[in-house]
Amino acid sequence: MSQRAAGSRLALPFPGRTQRVLPGFGLSLGISLTFVSLVLLLPLTGLVGQLAGLSLGEYWAIISEARVVASYLITLGAAAVAALVNAAFGLLLAWVLVRYDFPGKRALDALMDLPFALPTAVAGITLATLYSSNGWMGQALAPLGLEVAYTWVGIALAMAFTSIPFVVRTVQPILEDLPHEIDEAAMTLGARDGVAFRRVILPHLWPALVTGTGLAFVRSLGEFGAVIFIAGNMPYETEITSLMIFVKLQEYDYVGASAIASVVLATSLALLLAINLWQGRFIRRLHGGN
Amino acid sequence: MQRIGDAPALRRLLIGAAVALSALFLLLPLVAIFAQAFSQGLATFWVNVSDTYTLAAIGLTLFITALTIPINLVFGVMLAWLVTRFTFPGRRLLQTLIDIPFAISPVVAGLVYLLLYGRNGWLGGWLDAHDIQLMFAWPGILMVTVFVTCPFVARELIPLMQAQGSREEEAAVTLGASGFTLFRRVTLPNIRWALLYGVILTNARAVGEFGAVSVVSGAIRGETNTLPLHVELLYQDYNTVGAFASAALLALIALFTLAAKAGLEWRAARREALA
């Protein structure tokens, strides 16, 4: 792709000097840089400014307060469960949508994007109503002794709902591009479905599967709108970290909110960086190790 | 030719499981929104939707969305043009930076804006002295909405424009086309469907943003209350049917988004089949 981009430069007889053929470099560079600086980068300085006044000890005291630590554990645990559930569900759905033809397939495929299209607050009140003790699902699950609303199961459910598309949409294109010969070779050699899938298909899919699961996990860590309605928001029990930030803000504790936000921000940026690096390494290996 | 998982029993089992789970976890919530909204009849739904505060919330949401789309459209096209048509130091970094809004929790996004432009913020003091209020007013809502939706158009355009390359555009320049003509006659016809999809995604997110907006809005009824915030307000007031009436409007926009996506994909597949 860098070759293509380089194609829009015309080499002049003097080495080291090139001229751009296409117009608009200055304009697009100017607008892009202005926008990125003002909209994306400048606001982040607000966070730095707010934290600059804190000593390391004060910072540590805020981010390691018992109630806050409990919220990290709840958020991480529920997000991990949500991501793992989505890994299984996403793999199943990607497989069914790519490999089989059946009536209603297009509608099912379209339905997979619902969680991204539906506003999170709408998802939140809907799940809370469905799974509350007099909701459709709540009533169905009550005889089984399963309580979802206002427990951490509800938090995990809401996180899983909002991050469904990640795994399906990362695995689907890889599965579509797998050549038929792979299947045929395995089947000709007499492998059973389960073994063939595990040994032949899964090795091709798992980088996409891990990426999708990782993205679902990161999204779940930051989810707010869908979770707060079903969570119950009891300190130490069903309070997520995003809500902790919100609670601090309502108490006008800007410093506390900023300190916790910096932990959330650093965690999600580190995770995304890790996913990107890992993905990059895999793609390099796929293209012959350069 | 026999492929993995083609055995009829296994096939039926997997399709059945996929359909059943999707119906339970995706379709049922969707049905529940409309069931709740209309649970007291069409007349009650209409009363809820035409309530003064609901109308004000709809108006504000449409206003914010109408401003967000052109801003991010211009930015998305400019950024995509820049990173796919030119090489320059920092190109990669720029492409990484536009993903920041995807990585940041909406509440944190709202918070950083509040810290900068709020009364105690770096710029807040100066703004306050000049009697300019951005936070807890519509400009703040617009700013965070632009922030959370800014990657969508660019993310749709960049892969497409990279794949298409710049040969046609270079030919047009050689033939003497001006920058504007070049964009309108050569680039735009090639990218219009991706552009449209980027706009649809921007629209869906702008209309539905909750976390970031709730930090900077103050949710004053009739003034800074967007439709998703209005849904929360009614729900917390135990006006469940009213909350779901507004939620149904938002769900309709979501359904439109899904239909538009399916339509655009179907169109692309058909063109590919014809080509």
Residue A21's pLDDT band (cuts 50, 70, 90): confident
Q: Judge whether residue A174 has pLDDT over 80.
A: yes
Q: Judge whether residue A82 has pLDDT over 70.
A: yes
Chain A residues with CB-CB distance to B11 below 8 A: 100
Cβ–Cβ gap B111/A32 under 8 Å? no
At A283 the pLDDT is: 62
Q: Judge whether residue B219 has pLDDT over 90.
A: no
Considering only alpha carbons, which residue of chain B is nearest residue A242?
A: B107
Q: Taking residues A82-93, what's their average pLDDT? A: 97
Q: Taking residues A233-237, what's their average pLDDT? A: 92
- Among the partner-chain residues B19, B29, B107, the one whose CB lies closest to the CB of A126 is B29
Q: Taking residues A38-64, what's their average pLDDT? A: 92
**A66-70, A141-145, B79-83, B231-235: range with lowest mean pLDDT:** A141-145
Rounded distance between C-alpha atoms, residue A185 and residue B61, angstroms: 56
Topology (CATH) of B59-226: MetI-like fold (1.10.3720)
Residue B5's pLDDT band (cuts 50, 70, 90): confident
pTM (predicted TM-score): 0.90
Residue ranges of domains in chain A: 55-286
Q: pLDDT digits over A238-250, tens only?
A: 999 999 999 999 9
Considering only alpha carbons, which residue of chain A is nearest residue B159?
A: A1
Chain B residues with CB-CB distance to A40 below 8 A: 97-98, 100-101, 147, 150
Q: Judge whether residue A290 has pLDDT over 60.
A: no
Q: Judge whether residue B11 has pLDDT over 70.
A: yes
- Among the partner-chain residues A21, A24, A242, the one whose CB lies closest to the CB of B105 is A242
Question: In the CATH hierarchy, which top-level class contains the domain A55-286?
Answer: mainly alpha
Write down the ipTM of this complex. Answer: 0.92
Considering only alpha carbons, which residue of chain B is nearest residue A88?
A: B18
Per-residue CA distances from A240 to A97, A246, B229 (Å): 34, 10, 19
Cβ–Cβ gap A242/B84 under 8 Å? no
Considering only alpha carbons, which residue of chain A is nearest residue B27?
A: A111
Cβ–Cβ gap B115/A50 under 8 Å? yes
Q: Judge whether residue A152 has pLDDT over 90.
A: yes
At B62 the pLDDT is: 96
Which residues numbered 62-91 in A keep a CB inside 8 Å of some CB on B? 89
Rounded distance between C-alpha atoms, residue A3 and residue A23, angstroms: 19
Q: Judge whether residue A12 has pLDDT over 70.
A: no
Q: Taking residues A252-267, what's their average pLDDT? A: 94
- Among the partner-chain residues A111, A115, A221, the one whose CB lies closest to the CB of B27 is A111
**A39-53, A126-140, B117-131: range with lowest mean pLDDT:** B117-131
Residue A50's pLDDT band (cuts 50, 70, 90): confident
At A17 the pLDDT is: 43
Interface test with B, best of A2, A32, A146, A262 (most B CBs within 10 A): A32
Cβ–Cβ gap B1/A41 under 8 Å? no
Q: To the nearest whole percent, how much of chain A has pLDDT over 70?
A: 90
Q: Taking residues A153-168, what's their average pLDDT? A: 96
Q: Which residues of B191-200 are buried (b: 16+ CB within 10 A; e: fewer)?
A: bebbbebbbb
Q: pLDDT digits over A206-227, tens only?
A: 889 999 999 999 999 999 999 9
Chain A residues with CB-CB distance to B75 below 8 A: 31-32, 35
Rounded distance between C-alpha atoms, residue B126 and residue A95, angstroms: 57
Q: Give the H or E element holding residue A194.
A: helix A193-196
Residue B51's pLDDT band (cuts 50, 70, 90): very high
Rounded distance between C-alpha atoms, residue B69 and residue B90, angstroms: 27
User: Which residue is listed with tokens 């769900």?
Assistant: B251
A11: DSSP letter: E
The tokens describing B198, both together, are: 């980027």
Rounded distance between C-alpha atoms, residue A69 and residue A53, angstroms: 22
- Count A/B contacts: CB-CB distance under 8 Å: 302
- Among the partner-chain residues A7, A29, A197, the one whose CB lies closest to the CB of B165 is A7
Rounded distance between C-alpha atoms, residue A121 and residue B210, angstroms: 6
Rounded distance between C-alpha atoms, residue B24 and residue B28, angstroms: 5
CB B110 within 8 A of CB B212: yes
Residue ranges of domains in chain B: 59-226
CB A113 within 8 A of CB A165: yes
Cβ–Cβ gap A246/B209 under 8 Å? no
Q: pLDDT digits over B193-203, tens only?
A: 999 999 999 99
Rounded distance between C-alpha atoms, residue B179 and residue B186, angstroms: 10
Cβ–Cβ gap A254/B7 under 8 Å? no
Residue A150's pLDDT band (cuts 50, 70, 90): very high
**A20-34, A55-69, B16-30: range with lowest mean pLDDT:** A20-34
A127 reaches B (C-beta below 8 A):
yes
